[in-house]
Amino acid sequence: MRLISRLLGRPLARASEASERLPNFQALPILSSDALSSVAYATEAMLGVLILGGSRALGLSLPITVAIMALIAIVVLSYRQAIAAYPNGGGSYVVARDNLGAGIGLVAAAALLIDYTLTAAVSLMAGTQALTSMVPSLLPHAVPFALLLLALVGWANLRGLKEAGRLFAIPTYAFVGMVVLLTLAGLKDLVFDHGFVPDAPPVVQAVQPLGWFLILRAFSSGCSAMTGIEAIANGVKVFREPAQRNARLTLLVMGVLLAAMFLSISSLGFMYGIAPDTQLTVTAQIGQRVFGEGSVLLWALQISTLLILVLAANTAFSGFPRLAAMLADDRCLPIQMRWQGDRLVYQNGIGVLLAITAVIIVVCQGDTTVAVNLYALGVFTAFSLSQLGLVRRWWRLKGPGWIGRLTMNAVGSLATFAVLLVIVISKFDEGAWTVIIAIPLLVGGLLRIRRRYRNVYRAMAPQQQLKPLAVPQRQQPIGNHCIVYVPAIANPLVEAVRYACSIADSVDVVCVVENPGDGESLQQQWRQLLGGGPQVPELVVLPSPYSSLIDPFCDYVIDLETRHPERNTTVVMPMVIPRDRLDGLLLNQRAISLYRELSNDHSRVFCVVRSFIR
C-alpha cells in the first residue's frame, strides 16, 4: 500500500475536490485530445477508401472534408445546447434517459461504453504507428509498446485530474502548434515555390467502381474525425466555475481547432498528391514534403503526433469512468463503479477500461484498421440519440427561444442519423456487424443488472412490523460489546443488530457517510424503523473526510478497543448471501473489504450475520 501511495500520490480530502477542477487551458487537452488527435488518422482513413476507386478518386477528398466540417459545426453547436440544458453533464446517456426513456438511454450508454474502449485502443495503436513510421525497426514490438503507453496513461489518470492536466497540456498544444506550423510552411511553399496546381498522386488502378457507395464509405471513414466531441458535454464538472460557461467556450474552441486542422491536413494531402502508404502515415508524407525528409521539424511533427495520439486515449479514461459511475448510480452496473479512490477519481472504472483496452490491442495486434471501422458507429449512435432527446426536451418545455433550439437539434439529429445509416451499410462487412450485435447484448446485460438490484433491494426492505429490538438488562454483564457495521438501512442490518443485542451488554450501530448532511436523514430513518426507547441502540454516523468509507470505521473500532481493554469487542457485519455469482459481484463488496482490513489485527472477534435472498 505504501508503494501504491507513492505511485499515485497522497490521498485527497473530499473538501479539496473543488480545487481539483481545471481551468479551460488544462481542461481542453484532457477532454479534447481525442477529437484533436483524430486529424492524424481521419484523412488517412478517408483516402484509404477512396484509393479503391483509383488515383482519380483521391480528388474527392476535399469535398468530403468540407461536408464533414459542416457536420462538425452542427454537432458542436448542438452539444453547446446540451451543456446549457444539463449544466452538471449533458452526455448522450443523461439526455436520452431523461427525454426518451430509460431503455433508449441504455442504448446510448452501451454505444458510448463501446466507443470509449475502442477510442483508447485506436489512439494508442495509431500513436505507435506514428512512431514506427519513423523507426521501422520497432514494428515487431508495436503491441508491447502500445501496452506500455496504455499503462502510462492509466497511471496518470489514477493520480487525478490535476496531475493529468499538467501532464497532458504541453503535448496537446505542441501537436496543435506543429499542425499550425505545417500549415504555414505548406502555404509558404505553395505560394512561393510549388504553386497551387495539385500534384498527381501515384498511379493506382481502381479495384472498385467509383460510385456513391464508395464515396459514402469514404465519408463515413472520414467521420472518425468527430470522435470525442461529446467528451466536454460529459465532463462539465471538470471545469472551474462558472463551469457551464467555461465548458461551452472550450467546446467551441475545440470545434474550430478540429475543423481547421482537418481541413489543413486534407488540403495539403490533396495539393501534394498524397496517397495511402503502408510504411508512412499521410501526416508523415506531408511533413516530408513540407519540412524535408529527416528534418528536425519532421521528427517534431511525428513525436507530437505520437504524444497526442497517446493522450487521446485520455478522453476515454475521463469519459468511461464517469459514464460507468452514472450507470452505477442508476443500478445498471455494480455500485463499485461509483466508488472514488484516494485521488478522487473513479479508479474501478479506470481499471476496467485498462483491462478491456489491453485485450483489444492484443487482439488487433496493434493494427487500427478494424477498430477504426467499428468505433465511429458507436459515436454516431450516441450523437443521434442525444440530439433527438434534446428535440423532445425543447418541444416539451417550450421555453424562450425553443423553436431555434429545436430546429438546430433536429438538423443535428437528422444529419448524424443519416451518417449512422451510411456507416451501418458501408461498414457492415468490415466489422460493423460486431458492434450492431454488441450494443443489444450490452443493453441486455445492463437491464439484467438493474432488474436484479431491484429484486434484491425489494427482498432486503425492512419489515413493517418488527420484533422488539433492544439490549436486554442483564443482572450479570457478560463483558462483551458489539459494533455493527451499517451498509444500508435494510432488513439484513436489523437482523444483525438483533443478534448483537442478544450477545452483548452494549451495542453501537455505526454508519460511515460520504456527505455529513446525509447523517441526519439516516438517523431519522433508523428512528422511524425502530421507534424510540432507552434500550434501542442509537445510530452513530461517522463522516469520511477522504474517499474511503472503511478507514473511519476501522479507526472507530481501534479507538474503542484502546479505551476499553477490559471488555471483548465483537464486530458484527450483516451480509447478504447471493443467489448466484452475479449477485456476488453486485453485493457485499464493501463488507468484504472491511473484513479484510480489520483482519490484520487478530484481537478482534468477527461475526457475520447472513441473510438469504431469492
573-584 confidence digits (pLDDT tens): 888 776 666 676
| Residue recorded with cell 441486455 | 444
pLDDT bracket for residue 180 (50, 70, 90): very high
**CATH superfamily placement of domain 2-450:** Amino acid/polyamine transporter I (1.20.1740.10)
Residue 59 CB-half CA count within 13 A: 9
Residue 446 confidence (pLDDT): 92
Task: Round to whole Å and give the CA distance between 416 and 393.
Answer: 18
Domain 480-612, CATH class in plain words: alpha beta
Residue 442 confidence (pLDDT): 92
CA distances from 132 to 11, 305, 444, 589 (A): 39, 12, 40, 44
Main-chain dihedrals φ then ψ at residue 464, nearest 5 degrees: -70, -40
- Residue 376 clears pLDDT 60, i.e. is over it: yes
- Residue 143 clears pLDDT 80, i.e. is over it: yes
Residues with Cβ < 8 Å from 181, sequence gap 6 or more? 297
Please say whether the beta carbons of 231 and 29 come within 8 A.
Answer: no
Task: Round to whole Å and give the CA distance between 36 and 307.
Answer: 12
pLDDT single digits (tens) 43-65: 888 888 888 888 888 889 999 99
Residue 234 confidence (pLDDT): 76
pLDDT bracket for residue 15 (50, 70, 90): low
Task: Round to whole Å and give the CA distance between 288 and 306.
Answer: 16
Task: Round to whole Å and give the CA distance between 176 and 178.
Answer: 6
pLDDT bracket for residue 353 (50, 70, 90): very high
Residue 508 confidence (pLDDT): 87
Please say whether the beta carbons of 439 and 107 come within 8 A.
Answer: yes
pLDDT bracket for residue 264 (50, 70, 90): very high
DSSP-assigned letters across all residues of 292-316: -TT-HHHHHHHHHHHHHHHHHHHHH
Task: Round to whole Å and give the CA distance between 173 and 475.
Answer: 76
Question: How far out from the chain centre does Cα 109 lie?
Answer: 11
Percent of the chain at pLDDT above 70?
Answer: 87
Domain coordinates in residue numbering, the chain: 2-450, 480-612
93 versus 601: which is more confidently predicted? 93
- Residue 513 clears pLDDT 90, i.e. is over it: no
CA distances from 80 to 91, 95, 314 (A): 11, 13, 22
pLDDT single digits (tens) 422-468: 888 877 777 778 888 888 999 999 998 898 888 888 877 776 555 65
Residue 605 confidence (pLDDT): 80
Q: Is the dihedral of CA 394, 398, 400, 402 positive or negative?
A: positive
| Residue recorded with cell 515487431 | 140
Please say whether the beta carbons of 108 and 390 come within 8 A.
Answer: no
- Residue 393 CB: number of other CB atoms within 10 A? 22
- Residue 540 CB: number of other CB atoms within 10 A? 17
Q: How many residues are present in the chain?
A: 614
Percent of the chain at pLDDT above 90?
Answer: 13
Least confident of 38-47, 54-63, 129-138, 140-149: 129-138
Q: Coil, strand or helix: which one is 366?
A: coil
Please compute the mean of the pLDDT values over residues 588-597 and round it to a whole number.
71
Q: Coil, strand or helix: which one is 545?
A: coil
Interior/surface letters 434-447, b for 16+ CB within 10 angstroms, e for the rest = ebeebbeebbeebe
**For helices 432-460 and 369-397, what crossing angle results, to 10°?**
60
pLDDT single digits (tens) 309-337: 777 777 788 788 888 988 988 889 988 88
Task: Round to whole Å and give the CA distance between 377 and 266.
Answer: 22
Please compute the mean of the pLDDT values over residues 235-239 and round it to a whole number.
80
Please compute the mean of the pLDDT values over residues 472-489 and round it to a whole number.
81
Task: Round to whole Å and give the CA distance between 490 and 488.
Answer: 6
Cell of 46: 478517408
- Residue 12 clears pLDDT 80, i.e. is over it: no
Residue 4 confidence (pLDDT): 54
| Residue recorded with cell 493506382 | 204
Please, what is the Cα angle at 31 between 259 and 142, to 5 degrees? 85
Question: How far out from the chain centre does Cα 531 lie?
Answer: 44
Of 525, 527, 530, 510, whose CA–CA distance to 467 is shortest? 530
What's the N-to-C CA distance of the chain in angstroms?
38
pLDDT bracket for residue 149 (50, 70, 90): confident
Main-chain dihedrals φ then ψ at residue 442, nearest 5 degrees: -70, -40
What's the count of helices (H) and strands (E) in the chain, helices before strands? 22, 5
Residue 386 confidence (pLDDT): 87
